[in-house]
Structure 1
């Protein structure tokens, strides 16, 4: 049985300021929670129904140091940040990303995001990064929080395998010493580029795109060729198309 203080604390983690203060976040999902456990992510506690716990007992027994609390569906509704609660919710520590040393990302691909505002878009892009084997995602300080419950839900567990780094994008580009590829409406056709072995792919705000400062700091301006009349693409869709073309 959870105390009122415990319930209030878990509910508070739906808000960024309390996540930042506590250094913890919540993840919900009958599939997400097991994936986080399997990947060795620092899960502190699992709150789940008896049925879910019984189904996943072998995994829970293999995972040292994780507390397990039985809760019923009504309690999960109180704890949940989602419209339709799942059968399990996990409490986790936010990983502390070490500072990026200039040159340390040589030979890798990174995605860098400027002012992404929609949690679903960010979660989708994290999932795309995981799909294409990208291990770090650089987010400008004004991006939506990567540990927002809706973002975590949209990652479908990929948050376990992608390192989130918060940094001013222009500064990051200047220190990286790597080629960078800014997605714009008036760049070079991506179909003319060879497969990337290293570099930084830049995706901007859903409505405004990348800032002039970031575009100016990039080494290449790239565009997805448009065949129809749509004005623009969703940020997640654009990231997926660009990665699919430049990384395979």
Structure 2
């Protein structure tokens, strides 16, 4: 099981297929659900069990969802060693926004049930299939084009993207690993128009641009 904090995220999970175990709240009028027992607790007790500096009224305990297969007939986003919880949470929200239903992560990518990740998803984790696996083996077995995001890659807006494929995004500091880079069919990038002093884009910001380009071309 895992912990979720915050009114919006707990409500999102209660309205999803995730199975709740228990909800604790300092305000009994906020959470009303016949799916779970809600226990009223004091603010002092919530602070004791919360991982947040300033707890947000509600803390829920949910069971891990059953694993689901990845549909390889549509676009898949693959993450190679993303370590920052905020980045992963934002990327999950981006997948939800752009209709990317399957997010495949390397085994050393930060846990999607990390409290900071869950908080950053704002409930979007309920609508994105999260899969942790050996990313090298997954890509090798995939039947379709694989695009890797690189500094200096071919400008993404100049490419005719197909109806399906894998988009690989790499580690915040080191980018895509050499082993996975060797499996990429085409290297793509985001052209820089500024002074050139900025070294790179934040990985979540870059992912937003790539996913927008995919959806601009592939509805």
Scaled by the length of structure 2, what TM-score is found?
0.93
Unaligned runs of 5+ in 1: 1-23
User: Does structure 1 residue 54 correspond to structure 2 residue 29?
Assistant: yes
> Cα RMSD (Å) of the superposition?
1.4
Corresponding residue to 1:136 among 102, 118, 121: 102
User: Does structure 1 residue 215 correspond to structure 2 residue 190?
Assistant: no
Corresponding residue to 2:138 among 153, 168, 172: 172
Q: Secondary structure at the match of 1:239?
A: helix
User: Does structure 1 residue 89 correspond to structure 2 residue 64?
Assistant: no
What is the deviation of 1:70?
1.1
Unaligned runs of 5+ in 2: none
Q: Deviations over 1:127-165 (max 9, x none)?
A: 111111111111101111111000000001011111111
Instruction: Find the aligned partners of 1:141 and 1:40 in 2 and give their Cα distance.
Output: 24
Asked if 1 retains the 8 angstrom alpha-carbon contact of 2:86 and 2:116, the reply is yes
> Who is 1:3 aligned against?
none
> Who is 1:244 aligned against?
212
What is the deviation of 1:195?
4.8
> Who is 1:44 aligned against?
21
Instruction: Find the aligned partners of 1:224 and 1:193 in 2 and give their Cα distance.
Output: 12
Flag the structure with higher helix content: 1
> Who is 1:19 aligned against?
none
Q: Secondary structure at the match of 1:221?
A: strand
What is the deviation of 1:55?
3.2
Asked if 2 retains the 8 angstrom alpha-carbon contact of 1:110 and 1:134, the reply is yes
> Who is 2:45 aligned against?
75
Q: Secondary structure at the match of 1:91?
A: strand
1:83–1:208 CA distance, 2 compared to 1 (3 A): same
Q: Secondary structure at the match of 1:187?
A: strand
Instruction: Find the aligned partners of 1:159 and 1:43 in 2 and give their Cα distance.
Output: 15
Q: Following superposition, which runs of at least 4 residues in structure 1 exceed 4 angstroms of deviation?
A: none
Name the count of aligned residue pairs. 214
Instruction: Find the aligned partners of 2:107 and 2:61 in 1 and give their Cα distance.
Output: 24
What is the deviation of 1:95?
1.7
